[in-house]
Structure 1
Amino acid sequence: MKRIYTLLTLFIGIGCLGLNAQERFLDEVFDEVEVTTDVIYGVNTTVLPVLLGAQPAFRPLNMNLMEPVGDTFDIRPVIILLHTGNFLPQLLNGNNNGTIEDPYIVSLGERLAKMGYLVAIADYRLGWNPIATSQQERTETLINAAYRGLQDINTCARYFRASADAGNPHKADGSRITVWGVGTGGYIAYGAATLDQWFDIVLPKFIGADKDGNGTPDPMVIEPINGDPFATTLGLNPLNGDTLCLPNHVGYSSEFQLCVNMGGALGDTSWVDASDPPMISYHVPT
């Protein structure tokens, strides 16, 4: 009888150990997170100065990196987090959010880093005209803002793959990159996961004004002017020569292996095809 009780105690102990066991990438197995701020992943043109009557200007594309303290892995899967904000600067967007320092995105990043991921909270270009007098201009400038955000996050994915060939200072696994967006960032994440080419957005709802004066409405986004969706081609305004898209990390893949959307939406269902990565989407019913 004593032997039976001993075995029973042993089995219960093993069961408790199993319940308490934690698994990397599923549980928070690290206690601390190291944060590296303002890592530059690219450079491109911002149109925000245009809203103030100035010319477009180059700006660095930056991100804050989070990684677990005490990690012994040589490479870690990458999660690129994207904040919300309506493609406008904080406060001008009518909210107290819209930056890579937003508390909700920082909290999410810390939790994921404690699970063992390399987390990049990436900034992206902002700017459109919500107070334009015509609906046409408001829509067209907003679509262009979303397109620039898409270009930036594709650039960010290529940055990690390029840096892996340059000593891999971030210990990033370029074969496992997730794009994860919240709100406005969710729109970008979906676009990054599904858009394969510029022609995918040449749809009736994305046709705008007549830009060249030939009497025919033109697409809201034109590849020679705005660059391709991946920001691997030069985009030039033919009217004044302004550079609207600067290629970054050309030659590396922009592919994502997973897309997570929290509160965003897909631009058009026609973008989805069998070649897209798995997608997880959350929406809060109201």
Structure 2
Amino acid sequence: MKLIRFGPAGQEKQGVLDDAGTLRDLSGALDGTAAYLSDAYMAQIAALDLAALPAVPADTRVGACVTGVGNFIAIGLNYADHAAEAGMDIPAEPILFNKAPSCIVGPNDDVRIPPGSEKTDWEVELAVVIGKTGSYIAEADAMDHVAGFCVCNDVSEREYQLERGGTWTKGKGSPTFGPLGPWLVTRDEVDTADLAMTLSVNGDTVQNGSTSTMIFKVPHLVSYVSHFMELQAGDVITTGTPPGVGMGLKPQRYLKPGDEMVLEIAGLGVQRQTAVATP
């Protein structure tokens, strides 16, 4: 299934795509007894006659595909070819850092460049959405805790991240730095072994990679993160990016107001964002 949240920012409702690609309004169809994103919640949706649900107008805003995100965890240098691009060694263990949940926006919302920023960058990433709470999860059980997957743009301010001291988190959580969606695709429909990933800026393809070059795979990451914090339904783990970020280009290239980004991961949909100056 492909789950979508739609409507004005802060007032989104839950929707689902039917087999014909029509967005259907789920907000009045679920009985509320199943925990959000649990297997029981997904089973309720699967049992519905989607064609009988109200269709959502095609021009309706699409919001982030998940709500109630407590932990927004990112994995650094998790693609071998991106580590080579950055001139950094492949890590012995996953590198973890936080993105602020407050940075989450819809897949087509504007990305705001922080005031005075000259190094705002892009990163197309596969994000994992947790569906079941767990701590110290065994790798063999990790996928039982996953609700599904979505596209993430891990927008990054490189000066804040790398030149201001401390942790990478400084460059990762500015407002609008976490577009998620358009869809949350349930785990039964996604094989993460070799998903094509692309990102273009103003029509120029700068990232063209695959999840096949991930160093640490999804089950390992879910298990690993759960040893440092409790993962809860709605938490997001975004799993790293392939080469082609602005910092790695020669010459380096960063976002300017008016730049348009288009991101796509095979089977997970397309994002489109315009970079704008922060008012």
Taking structure 2 as the reference length, what is the TM-score of the superposition?
0.27
More helix by share: 1
TM-score, reference length from structure 1: 0.27
Structure number with higher strand proportion: 2
Higher relative contact order (CA 8 A, sep 6+): 2
